[in-house]
Amino acid sequence: MIREALGSAYRRTIGALKDALVGFVSSITRGGGLIQLLYILFLVALMGGFVNAVFFPVPNQSPIPYPNGTAMTIPEAIVDAVVVAVGAAGIYLAYQSGKQTARTRTVNLYLGLALLLIIVSVFAGIDLAILKGLG
């Protein structure tokens, strides 16, 4: 009896996760969403410095912040891309907070999260610049 209850709960959970994943993938691929997602990822990669990391590689790819202003490792480019994406998410949440007109609590929540994300991305970017020896 316990095995049947746990088994059916497991199947329902896996089924719900499968349905959610299928819905997410279909929403991305429907209406050009996949192209938009790839475009955004391409722009973030360019802003993160993947071109510099690929075409001007450093001899040792192990340290994340390579202490040189002109060279960059691939892991450092990934970290830079994450910093750029976090800042962009903060700007998007600030934009969404201005569109919220129904509830003031939602406006305050979105704006607070936006400011937090922007501050985290700025401090992470400054910290990376200091680790590289640029600051």
The model's pTM: 0.67
Number of domains in the chain: 2
Residues 53 and 35 in one domain: no
- Output b/e per residue, 95-128; b: 16+ Cβ within 10 A: eebeeeeeeeeebeebbebbeebbeebeebbeeb
Give the pLDDT of residue 117.
Answer: 95
Reply yes or no on whether the pLDDT at 107 is more than 70. Answer: yes
Reply yes or no on whether the pLDDT at 51 is more than 90. Answer: no
Please tell me the distance from the alpha carbon of residue 71 to that of residue 57, in angstroms, as a whole number: 7
Residues 57 and 31 in one domain: no
Assess contact for 64 and 128: CB atoms under 8 A: no
Please tell me the distance from the alpha carbon of residue 124 to that of residue 118, in angstroms, as a whole number: 10
Residues 60 and 21 in one domain: no
